[in-house]
Amino acid sequence: MSNSGLLRGALVTSLALLLAGCAIPRGAALQSEVVSVQPMDGQISVDPQGGYAVFPVTSTSLPVISQWPAITLNNDASRLNWLRRQPQSPSVIMAPGDTIAITIWDNGQNSLLVGEGGRLAQLQDVVVAANGQVTLPYIGGVEVGGLSTDAARDRIEQLYAQTLPSAQVQMNVTPGRSNAVNLVSGMGAPGIYPMVDRDMTVLAALSQAGGVNVDLPNPQVRLMRGNSVYGIQLSRLLTEPALDTTLQGGDRIIVAPESRTFLSLGTTGTQARHVFPDQDVTALGALSLIGGVSAERADLRGIMVLRNYPASAVRADGSAGPPNQRMIFTLDLTSADGLFSAGQFQIMPDDVVYGTESPLNSTRTVVSLIGSLVGVANSVQ
């Protein structure tokens, strides 16, 4: 054998041994490395060590999973109730703290309120007391709380008419805090805004404050009324008019960014934490948000969703809840049933969408390296 042949053989042998002793670099684990049990369609496979359970997402398993408790965060708007719209009269309703300005016109002779040669008397900055009354000259306390401005004016005019038959009353109202709403944060111009009428709604108030900040992801609206807190997504208010709640004086409104997120790892398009763009996000929707999976590396039969359930949700038979706190849901994106099912499977807050490595990737890498070794060996003459 020639020296070049001996050198070529030695080179091939050395590189082959080196290849055998080296692990092929990967960016994610194989499905068989993550789970030690074989997922079976329609069946929950429990890890022998009791650490987790695996459930393939199919048309058979979806009805079962849908019966399990949803995972929500403490500050999630979906945990809160919301009030439906209750249309009111568009007039302003008088309330304690309102300030009124009264003009009394009187053409009578020797008027008690209007001086000689005068025509009118003005009473400025009359504040509605806590008991709903205002105190006016010659007629004393007048109950105006709970009345519309027109009804309050008529009542005052009728009382003055008993002593001043020709008196006519005009009245302007400046709403106080009891007739105002506090727009706290999340809008263009937070502040305390008077209610223009008793039919003022959440969206009308937000519009008055410059609208919701455009940089808030999936804005969540929270309404605080007394000791109660209500919550809803802004997108629902915009599409369902019946939910545009009628406000009451003293209401406070906060618009906060979406707090629910999920994580993408492995062979997914991006490895990052993602904010829920809407109330509901399916597995297919999540894959779209994260840029799909790597065409060269991902195992389309081994997409996983890892989820931690609270201990209170666990049920031994898996009927009304998961059999284990740690659940791994597997998705097969190579079948029609798997794709349709992934489009119905709901992602929960703090889920991890994990793309496993295709076993073929390692094979292709080995074949490529062997081809490279043969090419190097053949080049040695």
DSSP of 273-331 = EEE-SSS--BHHHHHHHTT-B-TTTEEEEEEEEEEE--GGG--TTSSSS-SSSEEEEEE
> Domain 82-89+178-256: what homologous superfamily?
Outer membrane lipoprotein wza domain like (3.10.560.10)
Higher-confidence residue: 276 or 74? 276
* C-alpha span between 360 and 368 (Å, rounded): 12
Residue 345: per-residue pLDDT: 97
**Domain ranges (residues) in the chain:** 31-73+260-363, 82-89+178-256, 99-174
Cβ(335)–Cβ(246) below 8 Å: no
Q: Vertex 46, ends 42 and 51: CA angle to 5°?
A: 140
Q: Choose the most confident range, by mean pLDDT, from 68-77, 169-178, 210-219, 359-368.
A: 210-219
The pTM of this model reads: 0.67
Same fold, 31-73+260-363 and 99-174: no
> Domain 99-174: what homologous superfamily?
wza like domain (3.30.1950.10)
pLDDT one-digit tens code per residue, 120-159: 778 888 888 888 899 888 888 999 888 888 888 899 889 8
Residue 379: per-residue pLDDT: 59
Q: Is the dihedral of CA 216, 217, 223, 224 positive or negative?
A: negative
Give the residue carrying structure tokens 């205002």. 134
Higher-confidence residue: 161 or 364? 161
- What angle, 0 to 180 degrees and rounded to 10, lies between the N-to-C axes of helices 359-379 and 3-21? 160
* C-alpha span between 249 and 198 (Å, rounded): 9
**Helices then strands, each counted (H, E), the chain:** 9, 17
pLDDT one-digit tens code per residue, 210-261: 999 999 999 999 999 989 999 999 999 999 999 999 998 889 999 999 989 9
Cβ(179)–Cβ(195) below 8 Å: yes
* C-alpha span between 173 and 144 (Å, rounded): 12
Q: Are strands 252-256 and 180-185 parallel, antiparallel or unpaired?
A: parallel
Cβ(231)–Cβ(223) below 8 Å: yes
How far is CA 335 from each of CA 12, 57, 185, 275, rounded to the nearest angstrom? 42, 12, 47, 28
**Single-letter amino acid code for the residue at 240:** E
Question: Domain 31-73+260-363 is of which CATH architecture?
Answer: Roll (3.10)
Residue 69: per-residue pLDDT: 92
